Amino acid sequence: MYPIDLELLEDCPPGWISHCTYSGQYGNAKIPTRLTEEILTGNKTLRISYADETSFSHPLRLIDSRTSTGRKPTHKLAVCAYPVVQMTDWTQLVRFMESWIAHGATKFFIVFQSSSTEFDAMLRIYENDERIDVERVHWGVLPTAANISLEEDPNGNVNRAEVR
């Protein structure tokens, strides 16, 4: 077992995450190089669990994102957009995309849930643009019980859009 040092992405008032198990954090773990190579080749499995519930662990897929010295990176600048939820103004997409393209971006990750037909059509134009690579990352709502209250519904806290 290797401990993970958790870091908050930003200071978040507890009221925003009152009923959630997870919040905006990332973790760093120091894993020996030998073990990392075994995980990458599939000889070992990387698993994660709570410190007090090690019997309930979940496998993680480790992806080697390092570029080899003999291979040039495919993209010099990649951009990940804020989740698109009920977006209707396609002109904002054009402004966003063209601004980043002008700054050299060639890879876009669009976290997508819902939009108008016009916005979706404009996004498809960019998806078919050979100068750039656009990847939709589908993002759905978290499953909840039918009788859950607004206070306990984690979907209202994802974008911190709920005012309490």
Considering the entire predicted model, what is its pTM?
0.57
Looking at the DSSP bridge assignments, the partners of residue 64 are none
Residue 108 and residue 97: Cα distance in Å, rounded? Answer: 9
Residue in the block written with tokens 């979706």: 120
H or E stretch including 122? helix 117-127
Number of H helices, E strands in the chain: 3, 7
Residue 135: band (very low, low, confident or very high) from pLDDT cuts 50, 70, 90? very high
Q: Which pLDDT score, from 0 to 100, does residue 123 have? A: 96
Contact criterion met (CB below 8 Å) for 107 and 133: yes
Residue 92: band (very low, low, confident or very high) from pLDDT cuts 50, 70, 90? very high
Residue in the block written with tokens 């859009």: 161
How large is the average pLDDT for residues 96-114? 93
Q: Residues 20-33: pLDDT tens digits? A: 555 556 677 788 88
Looking at the DSSP bridge assignments, the partners of residue 108 are 79, 134
| CA-based max dimension of the chain | 56
Q: Which pLDDT score, from 0 to 100, does residue 108 have? A: 96
H or E stretch including 44? none
Task: Say whether 102 sits in a helix, a strand or coil.
Answer: helix
Contact criterion met (CB below 8 Å) for 74 and 107: yes
